[in-house]
Chains A and B, each alone.
Chain A
């Protein structure tokens, strides 16, 4: 009975958010285009033959960056910005009264956005293949499934991290600057701009203990067929989720106790 209710809630939320997102198609297309930085990076790598030193062929590197683009497209999280706006505008109060954690709403929003984004990402990769016809490949079904799961786990990690930051809105009004701070290591260490294999030894020795390489580098390597440690990747992703979830629960319950609605 309860699970049925939850199912119905989630389904309704998704449907509402999906039709909401369909309204903003152009916007989502623009978001998709703004994620093409990996392609520029690929251009620098191959144009200067930088990949020879890390023993990755041109084709494998271009697949890697295409996959990095894809993984990034489906693990973008902006919950801090939504929550901050809702908190500043006082929209959080009505959400809190509802018998549903408001973060489910944001979660559904992100999933719906990903569904809307999917065709645009496909179109962009189609263009990518026109310019790089030699890098066309079809990953097998098992790999496709595994990399979809790891992309989703990467999305979950980022969603949890950002939700924790978003809860800081209960204490300070502008939590998004903390998010911008945290975005910097995500940008440079996740493998979006350069594959983690190419990092110098003094960084590689500790970077695999942080969550960052599992956000983009691991799923992208998996999908593109480059070498990667699959069992370590999945276990680290799950470990980070298990570490972050209790923190989120704790900070949420503390924060809602602290929360005072607008005008009090």
Chain B
């Protein structure tokens, strides 16, 4: 199928899932309050850390707020697209409905990753953007074109890495049907993306940059914001993102060979 057709199909996805989500309007309001409270909570936690310290891991409070902003945006993206869709994979596999997805004349990864959308995540993305623009003001960052493109590139790479991680974990359920909550483990690991990588001990730093590249997801984009990063870090992130995307695609196709439908 041509890209145009995919675009058309995606528009239909958007329409149906928005229609079904907007059925629960009070829910969206509650989710908004939840997102605001959770941001206040994590800034509160950060302020406890900075109570008697001027800097943690070389990051000042105002600088660490940038990480919070980027984390909030990425978390919003996770809640809007990754979480509702990729937890669905597990359900598809357990109930055998993955058959219907595979039979459709459309790429299965596309269908599974973008079928649903949860509009309450948008609010979180907005909150994150507000915090980021506030940070740009208090850190006195000059905005120019090259700065913006670099930010955009690193954030897009972060999104790709994040997506691949979620997709990887969800795909493993093809073998281990019962581990539907493996994504919760990932979620709790991602939680440390709220803090600068340098504030952790050396061994954890290695762990979070090699095995689960959380370091790349929030720290490098924040460094770009502050103009602290070197070019090799950015290019490394681009490479990591490409490798992750490519590997998750291959892994999905490989895993499908082992899919044997329910009750067989």
List residues of chain A with CB under 8 Å of any chain B CB: 24, 26-27, 30-31, 33-37, 40, 43-44, 47-48, 50, 52-53, 172-174, 177-178, 180-181, 184-185, 187-188, 193-194, 198-200, 203
**Interface residues of A, dominant DSSP:** helix
* Alpha-carbon distance between A162 and B147 when the two chains are bound, in angstroms: 47
| Any A CB within 8 A of the CB of B6 | no
**By the criterion CB–CB under 8 Å, are A53 and B52 in contact?**
yes
Which 10 A-B pairs have CB atoms at the shortest separation, nearest pair first?
Answer: A53-B52, A188-B41, A34-B188, A34-B184, A184-B37, A181-B34, A177-B30, A34-B185, A47-B201, A177-B27
Partner of A40, one of B30, B45, B49, B191: B191
**By the criterion CB–CB under 8 Å, are A43 and B188 in contact?**
no
**By the criterion CB–CB under 8 Å, are B176 and A26 in contact?**
yes
Q: Write out the residue numbers on chain A whose beta carbons fall within 8 Å of the beta carbon of B48.
A: 194, 198-200
Rounded to whole Å, the gap between the CB of B12 and the closest CB of chain A is 25
* Alpha-carbon distance between A27 and B185 when the two chains are bound, in angstroms: 11
Q: How large is the interface on B (under 10, 10 to 19, 20 to 34, 35 or more residues)?
A: 35 or more
Mark contacts of B40-75 with chain A using CB atoms, 8 A cut-off: 1 yes-contact digit, 0 otherwise: 011011011101110011000000000000000000
Measured CB to CB, the nearest residue on chain A to B38 is: A184
**By the criterion CB–CB under 8 Å, are B30 and A185 in contact?**
no
* Alpha-carbon distance between A13 and B87 when the two chains are bound, in angstroms: 30
Interface residues of B in 132-150 (CB under 8 A from A): none
**Interface residues of B, dominant DSSP:** helix
Measured CB to CB, the nearest residue on chain A to B23 is: A173
Q: Write out the residue numbers on chain B whose beta carbons fall within 8 Å of the beta carbon of A184.
A: 34, 37-38, 41
Count contacts between A and B, CB distance < 8 Å: 94
**By the criterion CB–CB under 8 Å, are B26 and A172 in contact?**
yes
- A43/B204 contact (C-beta < 8 A), A24-B178, A34-B184, A174-B24 known: yes
Q: Write out the residue numbers on chain A whose beta carbons fall within 8 Å of the beta carbon of B27.
A: 174, 177
Taking A26-B178, A174-B24, A180-B31 as given, write out 7 further A-B residue pairs in contact, using a Cβ cutoff of 8 Å, ordered by the A residue number.
A30-B184, A34-B187, A37-B192, A47-B199, A52-B52, A188-B41, A194-B49
Q: Write out the residue numbers on chain A whose beta carbons fall within 8 Å of the beta carbon of B17.
A: none
Query: What would 19 A/B residue contacts be, using CB atoms closer than 8 Å?
Result: A27-B180, A30-B182, A34-B185, A40-B192, A44-B56, A44-B200, A50-B49, A50-B52, A53-B51, A172-B26, A174-B24, A180-B30, A180-B31, A181-B30, A184-B34, A187-B41, A188-B42, A188-B44, A200-B47
Partner of B195, one of A44, A172, A199: A44
**By the criterion CB–CB under 8 Å, are A181 and B185 in contact?**
no
**By the criterion CB–CB under 8 Å, are B37 and A44 in contact?**
no
Mark contacts of B1-41 with chain A using CB atoms, 8 A cut-off: 1 yes-contact digit, 0 otherwise: 00000000000000000000000101100110110011001
Q: Write out the residue numbers on chain B whose beta carbons fall within 8 Å of the beta carbon of A178.
A: 30
| Any A CB within 8 A of the CB of B179 | yes
Q: Write out the residue numbers on chain B whose beta carbons fall within 8 Å of the beta carbon of A40.
A: 191-192, 200, 204
| Any A CB within 8 A of the CB of B97 | no
